């Protein structure tokens, strides 16, 4: 395939190479393999369930260590709120006010979300703003029929000339209504971070955002900084980054030919949240907490959420302490058979590492190299909640092409649903992934790992999108907590449901954890 001189310059300006783009096109042609599920991770087999005493021990250990650590809270926050209002867009598009009432529309279309939205309208944090804005733009509002009012409210909420909430970044939407103010998800992340991600009364938060919203996020922090710092007795450092252009991927037609824009340039797309590995790889921190922008709670639940984040961090620090001790011993190469067996058992029992059946046949020198390779990796401790039917990935034992079985977070899109055995494993999973991670990204010498070396590149996604009404194919990088962390040492821990409170649709804001 030949690119024009202009297209080659476009590729190189992005920080890509022609070879990389050609490889992406080959991936579209050859396809990406589905993951091979061995079994679901369950309590006692891949997922830890801690006793009250263990919880307290890990909590105490983290509290005694955190003042010595460089801590970062990493929040993917580039998503717009468009999907939160999908049912309102559908309503405005399909509702005919001349032919039916809103109630009959709800019954006919089984529009339960619209019904819930209208019943709970006064409980939304933006209710007063919505009513006021609608009335200001429609002086006759109070004389209108209920059906007309509903249409006007939906339009005011979504219309770019009015509130334009569907185009807001999720992090800056009104999320929670307190007595004296309305809080955004961005603000709640600051209050929450002050409870677990501080060292010496300082908290560092990093938000990955769309570049066009940088100024708005900065304005929001400037607006709330003084009051949040005073209330929490914490000094905040806030940083922002964007998905890097070199992580973009080429889009192709259904015939696997590059999609071109009207000016002849190649059409590239952001490659999903897996592209954020490049951002994560820039950090030089002892501990990184990862949590999505929409997963927050009102203040009365924050202490419970923070407690479990600290417990996960305590587990990470304890495991690192032991792993680092073993790595230093391995480096000295003065280990007897008993110590070698002890380290292998630690890998298997504590870090869920599958040790080769051939291990006992290896020469002593190769055994030490093998153990060092398995131990000297980034570590992630991930909270897992019991499956309540929420969308999202889950914890599984996965077998790779070489036959090695490891713990992975898998999205349902990665599984071959036509295979009955694979479908049954997926269906019988007991837990799912709330994106509640604590990561250790330094080795036993205090050096930062190059995280790009621990990615399984074959676990990306090929998805269908549209451009100017035509179907196109897009390639997404291995998910940040999926294939991008495939070769990390992984520990899954059961955490309570209160730690998982995403706002996928605006009606989620009516749940108890979002109501004061």
- DSSP H helical ranges for 39-139: 52-65, 86-94, 102-109, 112-119, 127-137
CATH class for the domain made up of 5-80+169-317+410-514: alpha beta
Q: List the structure tokens of 441.
A: 């990204």
Q: Among 300, 97, 360, 66, which residue's Cα sits nearest to residue 200?
A: 66
Cα distances (Å, whole numbers) of residue 91 to 126, 132, 170, 300, 483: 20, 22, 21, 35, 37
Give the pLDDT of residue 451. Answer: 97
Cβ neighbours for 154, distance < 8 A, ≥ 6 positions apart: 88, 91, 92
C-alpha 338/C-alpha 251 separation (Å) is 54
Q: Which of 66, 483, 137, 27 is nearest to 313 (CA)?
A: 66
Q: Which tokens sit at 389? A: 């039917």
Q: Where are the domains of the chain?
A: 5-80+169-317+410-514, 87-167
What is the secondary structure of 248-307 as a DSSP string? -EE-B-TTS-B-B-TTS-B-EE---GGGGHHHHTT---SEEEEE-TT----HHHHHHHHH
Nearest C-alpha neighbor of 436 from the set 379, 380, 396, 487: 380
Other C-beta atoms closer than 10 Å to the C-beta of 348 total 13
**Residue 303: HSE in the Cβ half-sphere, 13 Å Cα cutoff:** 2
The ranges of the chain with pLDDT < 50 are none
Q: Which residue has the tokens 């219309």?
A: 159
Is the distance from CB of 429 to CB of 40 less than 8 angstroms? yes
| Helix or strand holding residue 241 (H, E) | strand 235-241
DSSP helix/strand/coil, 122: helix
Q: What is the pLDDT of residue 242?
A: 92
Its pTM stands at 0.93
How far from 506 is each of 172, 436, 509, 514, 515, CA to CA, in Å? Answer: 13, 22, 6, 11, 13
The alpha-carbon radius of gyration of the chain (Å, integer) is: 25
pLDDT in tens, 83-122: 899 999 999 999 999 999 999 999 999 999 999 999 999 9
pLDDT at residue 470, rounded to an integer = 86
- Three-point CA angle 115, 117, 121, nearest 5°: 125
Q: What is the reported pLDDT for 402? A: 87
């Amino acid at each position: 395939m030949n690119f024009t001189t202009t297209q080659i310059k476009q590729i190189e300006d992005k920080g890509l190479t022609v070879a990389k783009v050609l490889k992406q096109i080959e991936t579209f042609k050859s396809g990406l393999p589905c993951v091979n599920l061995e079994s679901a991770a369950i309590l006692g087999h891949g997922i830890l369930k801690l006793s009250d005493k263990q919880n307290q021990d890990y909590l105490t250990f983290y509290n005694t260590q955190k003042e010595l650590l460089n801590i970062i809270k990493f929040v993917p926050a580039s998503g717009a709120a468009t999907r939160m209002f999908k049912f309102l867009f559908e309503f405005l598009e399909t509702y005919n006010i001349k032919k039916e009432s809103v109630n009959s529309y709800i019954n006919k279309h089984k529009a339960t979300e619209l019904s819930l939205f209208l019943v709970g309208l006064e409980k939304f944090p933006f209710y007063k703003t919505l009513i006021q804005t609608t009335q200001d733009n429609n002086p006759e509002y109070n004389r209108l029929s209920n059906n007309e009012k509903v249409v006007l409210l939906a339009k005011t909420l979504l219309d770019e000339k009015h509130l334009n909430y569907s185009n807001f970044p999720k992090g800056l939407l009104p999320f929670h209504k307190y007595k004296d103010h309305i809080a955004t998800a961005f603000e709640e992340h600051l209050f929450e971070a002050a409870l677990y991600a501080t060292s010496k009364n300082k908290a560092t938060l990093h938000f990955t955002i769309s570049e066009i919203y940088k100024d708005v996020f900065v304005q929001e922090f400037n607006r709330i900084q003084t009051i949040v710092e005073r209330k929490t007795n914490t000094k905040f450092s806030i940083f922002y980054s964007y998905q890097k252009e070199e992580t973009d991927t080429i889009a192709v037609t259904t015939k696997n030919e590059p999609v071109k824009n009207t000016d002849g340039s190649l059409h590239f797309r952001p490659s999903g949240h897996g592209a954020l590995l490049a951002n994560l790889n820039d950090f030089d921190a002892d501990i990184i907490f990862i949590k999505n922008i929409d997963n927050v709670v009102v203040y009365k639940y924050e202490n419970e959420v923070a407690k479990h984040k600290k417990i996960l961090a305590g587990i990470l620090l304890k495991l690192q302490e032991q792993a680092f001790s073993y790595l230093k011993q391995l480096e000295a190469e003065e280990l007897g058979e008993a110590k070698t067996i002890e380290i292998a058992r630690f890998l298997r029992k504590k870090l869920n590492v599958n040790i080769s059946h051939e291990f006992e046949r290896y020469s002593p020198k190769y055994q030490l190299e093998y153990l060092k390779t398995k131990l000297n990796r980034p570590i992630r401790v991930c909270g897992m909640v019991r499956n309540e039917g929420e969308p999202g990935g889950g914890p599984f034992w996965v077998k790779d092409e070489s036959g090695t079985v490891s713990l992975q977070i898998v999205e349902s899109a990665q599984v071959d649903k036509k295979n009955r055995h694979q479908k049954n494993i997926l269906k019988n999973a007991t837990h799912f992934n709330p994106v509640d991670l604590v990561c250790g990204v330094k080795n036993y010498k205090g050096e930062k790992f190059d995280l790009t070396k621990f990615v399984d590149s074959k676990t990306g996604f090929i998805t269908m999108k549209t451009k100017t009404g035509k179907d196109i194919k897009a390639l997404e990088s291995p998910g940040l907590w999926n294939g991008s962390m495939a070769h990390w040492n992984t520990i899954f821990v059961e955490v309570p449901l209160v730690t998982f409170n995403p706002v996928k649709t605006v009606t989620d804001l009516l749940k108890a954890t979002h109501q004061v």
